[in-house]
Amino acid sequence: MLKSLLYWIYQKRWLLVAIVVGAALYHLPYPEGISKDGYRTLILAIMVVILIISEAIPLPGIALFIAVLQVSFAIAEPSEVAQSFMSDAVFFIMGSLMLAVAIVRQGLDARLTLMILTLTGNRVRSIMWGFFVISLLLTSFIGEHTVVAMLLPVALTLVRSTSEEKDDVCDITKLLLFAIAYGSIIGSIGTPSGGARNAIIINYLSDFGLAKVSYLRWMAYAFPVMLVEIPLAGWLLSRAFKPECERLDGAVKKLKSKVAEAGPLTNQQILAIILFVVIFLGWVFFSARFGLGVIALAGVFLYLAAGLVQWQEINQRTNWGVVLFFAAAISLGVQLKNTGAALWVAQQILTATGGLLEQFVLAQYTLVIAFTAAVANVMSSSATVAVLGPLFMNFGGNPVLLGLATAVSSAFGYLTTVGAPAGMIIAATGLVNARDFIRVGWRITLASIAVLVLALLFYWPHI
Amino acid sequence: MRFLVAIRSSTYSEPTLQIGSAIANAFSADLSVVYVGDRPKELLSGGVHLARDALLNWEINHPGVDVLRWAYRRLQEWKFLDPALEQFDPTNLVQDTDRVRVILPHLHGEKIRLIFREGDPVDQLRKETEFRDYILTIVGGGSRKRLTRQLVQFVDTSILFVKNFDPDWNYKLLLCVDDSQATKRAVVFGTRVAQHFKAPVDLLTVSKTQRFGKGYRGAAQWAQRYMDRMQIPYEQHFKTGDPATVFAESAGTDHIIIMGKSKMNPLKAFFKGTKPGDTVLRAYGPVILVR
């Protein structure tokens, strides 16, 4: 009995830590300059961050915890909490998760393979660049996990056709997998539909009355940053691993013949592509009016109506817990802003640095970007934006630029397996490990931070 | 009788699987091989599952299934399983609540089970041993302090830690005898292993002081009588010092240490550790802790 209790306590230690920290802060004298609601929201945010990082309870549990404590702490009325749980960003997350299922099941990966190999030829480094650039371009428009799910089997089949012994093709494998993962991560910066984090910041900017950022306006800010990162990150990646051989003639031939068995594009596949183009055009031209989320949901509707995917498949393969979690995290972010908690924390940091951050804009930008990137590598990008977005928008500078910088830098999850969905997916193959992420990731992280800081200083203010 | 072997990769788990199959043979026990892999972070798990579905369409299996296939082939090579049996079918999987089982139709209900799980190793092994009634759990490692202590304390079976395993099996047995409740079970277990592998036995009793109390002497005498009765050749030793250190030093690399699992107060064991746990951490070779 005692042993079981001890085991439970050990397993749930971070939940208990979160509760103890929360209870202690709740009963301590409240600091000056922050409202009661704001301070309680801050306590809730601290508890939630502990729970997200430790995964002490399932994600939907954290979502429910946020809802219950917002009401119990008297931060907001029940109906207000319920309303704040649903927004266009949540619709977008829901829609993009469902679209991922619909797109992946179309079997377009074989077509992509042919396209990549036709463009690159058989040289390993060319193939790496092919995977890197294609995943980068695709993730500008489709969620990164969708792209990785389509390209990963192709890369692994190519590697396995080269040698059955994993050790013989260890560096080729890593080179191709990181090309897909990092290409997808960098690509997701370029457009609002690249990732949930972008939709969350657009939502915050709109809800807080700061700016309405359209699809094309986002691209004007972020796409050039992405373009600069392509050669830089690709070059750094290509130097990180030394492929065991120069060419993959046999493997490419085998793969091409395997892909050729699939035959020409089916009507269903053509329709799937047309529908996706329609969705994309909808995002570009109508998201300002209808919102990214509603258009994503319209896309899912079209796929369902056309019979390209069954609801059962979507229902089974969509992680609804993640949708619930982001609904709660965004609700918490909104409360951090509304109660003044985010402003208070930002002011404390600015005061603690003795006005240094206000005087030297370079230091301010570097701190925002580096801190967001660091937290994203622990907590994952979208969760980081949901919590840090409201904070950094109050950091004294231009809130729109700081918000955008937070979203873009949260994509720099190159250092760990949990920083981005793409990293997690390639790590789950068991063919790359945490050390590999650090080995390649630190250079690309530093380069990405430098590029973004320069963009913030010299490019973004002029748009 | 069922034994559980926990494996993690084809590169590092071969000794664990080899000793596991040999011991299971010695006891005519059924063997379950469980692969315990990392669980993807929940926030990102949707993408991982989507990618795994896509990989299956290209006939690329979950890495855990590949490791289990490797284990299956190895067991056939070592003749633990009939080499003439059908090949492993990686698509024949059954999802239980929190584990996946590979179906082996030709071996239904017999000798071998292949399972994969994802998550914290201690938690998953604990759940697996709660799911089925295992006598012995066989794991690799035994060098990481926190993991070893947790396995010793929270997995409610006997445990074999496979450290620096010699595949030629040039082992003697070191039976650690003291006044603890589990000593008798450890001696009986050790005797069975000694009989099967025809391994010489050393009985060792260690006291922290120069004086060997009544309990220690009584236990040593009982072990001696049991060895005589089972006609196992043995040598008996009495030494003084820190028990965990003396057991590890006396065993060296050419003994398998067999000792009882501690019945110490769980709270004390959690914070201070136990003699068996410390012995595992200091040992240079395999250690069996008998529950």
- The CATH number assigned to the domain holding B28 equals 3.40.50.620
Query: Do A403 and A258 have their domain in common?
Result: yes
Mean of all residue pLDDT scores within chain B: 89
First-to-last alpha carbon distance for chain A, in angstroms, is: 65
Confidence of residue A160 (pLDDT cuts 50, 70, 90): confident
- B-chain CB neighbours of A380 within 8 Å are 41, 43-44
Q: Domain check: are A330 and A348 in the same one?
A: yes
pLDDT digits (tens, 9 = 90+) for A299-358: 999 999 999 999 999 999 899 999 999 999 999 999 999 999 999 999 999 888 887 877
User: Looking at the domain assignment, is residue B157 inside a domain?
Assistant: no
Instruction: State the sign of the Cα–Cα–Cα–Cα dihedral A133, A137, A140, A142.
Output: negative
Tell me which chain B residues have a C-beta less than 8 angstroms from the C-beta of A152.
51, 54-55
User: How many domains is chain A built from?
Assistant: 2
Probe site for chain B from A1, A2, A3 (most B CB atoms < 10 A) = A3
Output b/e per residue, A69-82; b: 16+ Cβ within 10 A: bbeebebbeeebbe
pLDDT value for B83 = 81
- Domain assignment present for residue B88? The answer is yes
In this structure, which amino acid lies at residue B217? R
**Are residue A194 and residue A242 in the same domain, yes or no?**
yes
Q: What is the pLDDT of residue B186?
A: 93
Decide if pLDDT at A34 tops 90: yes
Q: Per the domain annotation, does B246 fall within a domain?
A: yes
Q: How confident is the model at residue A395 (pLDDT cuts 50, 70, 90)?
A: confident
Residues A61 and A104 in one domain: no
CATH number, residue B200: 3.40.50.12370
Domain coverage including residue A28: 2-84
Are B54 and B178 within one domain?
no
Please check whether residues A36 and A175 belong to one and the same domain: no
A13 and A102 part of one domain: no
Answer yes or no: do A329 and A280 share one domain.
Answer: yes
* Residue B6 domain boundaries: 2-140
pLDDT in tens, A241-292: 998 888 888 888 888 887 777 778 889 999 999 999 999 999 999 998 999 9
Q: Are residues A133 and A270 in the same domain?
A: yes
Tell me what the pLDDT averaged over chain A comes to.
92
Which residues in chain B land under pLDDT 70?
Answer: 105-110
Give domain status of residue B148, yes or no: no
- pLDDT for res B10: 81
Q: Is residue B165 part of a domain?
A: no
Residue finishing a domain among A84, A102, A137: A84
ipTM of predicted complex = 0.87
CB contact under 8 A, A156 and B154: no
Give the H/E segment covering residue B256: strand B255-260
Chain A hits for B48, CB-CB cut-off 8 Å, are: 421, 424-425, 428
Q: Which of A75, A111, A105 is nearest to A331 (CA)?
A: A75
**B176 and B120 belong to one structural domain:** no
Looking at residue B108, what is its pLDDT? 55
Last residue of a domain, one of B92, B118, B140: B140
Tokens of A2: 């005692």
Q: How would you class A311 by CB atoms within 10 Å of its CB: exposed for 0-12, middle for 13-18, buried for 19 or more? A: exposed
How far B141 CA sits from the closest chain A CA (Å)?
19
**Which residue, of A40, A57, A84, is where some domain finishes?**
A84
Residues B181 and B271 occupy one common structural domain: yes
Residue A166 shares a structural domain with residue A21: no
pLDDT, greater one: A403 or A117 = A403
Residue A165 pLDDT exceeds 90 = no
Confidence (pTM) = 0.88
Distance of CA A276 to the CA centre of its chain: 21
Judgement on whether residues A94 and A78 belong to the same structural domain of the protein: no
Nearest chain A residue to B55 by CA: give it. Answer: A153
Task: Give the rounded percent of residues in chain A with a pLDDT score beyond 70.
Answer: 100
Q: What is the pLDDT of residues B158-202, one digit of tens each?
A: 999 999 888 777 889 999 999 888 899 999 999 998 998 889 999
Report the number of distinct structural domains present in chain B.
Answer: 2
Instruction: Report whether pLDDT(A164) > 80.
Output: no
Do A242 and A347 fall within a single domain? yes
pLDDT at A249: 86
**Chain B contact probe: residue of A2, A4, A7 with most B CBs at under 10 A:** A7
Cross-chain Cβ contact A97/B46 below 8 Å: yes
pLDDT of A321 reads 94
Same domain, A334 and A223: yes
The answer to whether A220 and A459 are in contact (CB under 8 A) is no
Mind giving me the DSSP string for B94-144? EE-SS-EEE--GGGTTSSEEEEEEES-HHHHHHHHHHHS--SEEEEE----
pLDDT digits (tens, 9 = 90+) for A99-127: 999 998 888 888 888 888 888 888 999 99
In a domain, B37, yes or no: yes
From A84, A111, A146, the end of a domain falls on A84
Beta-bridged to residue B2, according to DSSP, are B30
How far apart, in whole angstroms, are the C-alpha atoms of residue A22 and residue A329?
A: 17
